[in-house]
């Protein structure tokens, strides 16, 4: 198996790094990717013009694409809408919010919405995944899926030393369930910094992979995104950083794949 994925997150249209976003779009069009994934926070405040800018940029990216929402894609200023219909704008202008999927040639990708418009805690921007969501995703995979990927916005388990927390309710349980389901990658964003690490469950071959941001809201890391290359025995993740004129490798990880039955 050979596969190339582009994994972007936290573009935050309305507060995007315009040059970095334009250059990323050009790389998507010329990079020969098998799939482009955006793991949430397309917008800054979920305003209509921000969604319009996001959809115009996405329209120029080659198919196929899988896009899942983030907490910034629920209106920040329209309180009633955020509580009662948090992803109405997203679904009207971008696509389905609860879950998304893509399957081709033994590769299966399932997107899950871990964002909420309101929660019974002060910081509603933190993540949440229910057992129902996690179980539905795990059960969706088929025996013939030789590469299994879950896409969420919030990291299910905290990044050690990260610039901010996700504090995902249900995250630990979902991570363990995805290990049992032999998921290979759980892609996320939210913290604006790239990372990889294996979940501490099962055979140690289910990896959390986070992408950085393409916005001006940097948290100690330059704007950037990830390119993922998968071969039979290895998953190589390259975090690219925008220098102001070009993208250059920022960090690279080689992750061992589990043996295929």
Instruction: Report the pLDDT averaged over residues 5-27.
Output: 98
Query: pLDDT value at position 166?
Result: 86
- Domains of the chain from N-terminus onward: 3-256 (3.60.21.10)
With b for 16 or more beta-carbon neighbours within 10 A and e for fewer, the 60-97 pattern comes to ebeeebbbbbbbbbbbeebeebbeeebbbbbeebbbeb
CB 141 within 8 A of CB 108: yes
Q: What is the band of 260 on the pLDDT scale with cuts at 50, 70, 90?
A: confident
Q: What is the band of 232 on the pLDDT scale with cuts at 50, 70, 90?
A: confident
Q: Does pLDDT of 253 surpass 80? A: yes
CB 64 within 8 A of CB 70: no
Q: Supply the pTM of this predicted model.
A: 0.97
Query: pLDDT value at position 115?
Result: 98
Instruction: Report the pLDDT averaged over residues 86-111.
Output: 97
Question: Percent of the chain having pLDDT more than 70?
Answer: 100
Question: Percent of the chain having pLDDT more than 90?
Answer: 92
CA–CA separation, 24 vs 27, rounded Å?
Answer: 5
Instruction: Report the pLDDT averaged over residues 134-163.
Output: 94
Q: Does pLDDT of 258 surpass 70? A: yes
The model's pLDDT over 34-63, given as tens digits with 9 standing for 90+, comes to 999 999 999 999 999 999 999 999 999 999
- Length of the chain counted residue by residue: 261
Q: What is the band of 261 on the pLDDT scale with cuts at 50, 70, 90?
A: low
CB 40 within 8 A of CB 10: yes
Q: What is the band of 218 on the pLDDT scale with cuts at 50, 70, 90?
A: very high
Instruction: Report the pLDDT averaged over residues 229-244.
Output: 96
């Amino acid at each position: 198996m050979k596969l190339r994925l582009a994994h972007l997150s936290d573009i935050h249209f309305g507060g995007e790094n315009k040059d970095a976003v334009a250059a990323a779009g050009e790389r998507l069009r010329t990079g020969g990717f098998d799939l482009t994934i955006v793991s949430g926070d397309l917008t800054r405040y979920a305003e209509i013009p921000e969604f319009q800018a996001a959809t115009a940029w996405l329209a120029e990216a080659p198919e196929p694409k899988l896009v899942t929402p983030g907490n910034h894609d629920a209106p920040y200023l329209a309180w009633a809408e955020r509580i009662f219909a948090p992803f109405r704008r997203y679904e009207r202008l971008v696509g389905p919010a609860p879950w998304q999927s893509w399957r081709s040639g033994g590769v299966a990708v399932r997107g899950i919405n871990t964002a909420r418009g309101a929660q019974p805690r002060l910081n509603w921007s933190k993540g949440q995944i229910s057992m129902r969501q996690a179980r539905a995703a795990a059960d969706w995979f088929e025996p013939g899926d030789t590469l299994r990927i879950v896409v969420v916005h919030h990291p299910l388990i905290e990044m050690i030393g990260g610039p901010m927390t996700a504090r995902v309710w249900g995250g630990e349980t979902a991570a363990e369930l995805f290990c049992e389901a032999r998921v290979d990658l759980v892609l996320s964003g939210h913290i604006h910094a790239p990372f990889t690490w294996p979940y501490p469950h099962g055979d140690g071959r289910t990896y959390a992979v986070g992408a950085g941001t393409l916005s001006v809201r940097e948290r100690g890391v330059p704007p950037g995104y990830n390119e993922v290359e998968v071969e039979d025995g290895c998953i190589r993740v390259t975090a690219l950083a925008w220098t102001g004129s070009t993208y250059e490798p920022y960090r690279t990880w080689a992750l061992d794949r589990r043996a295929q039955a």
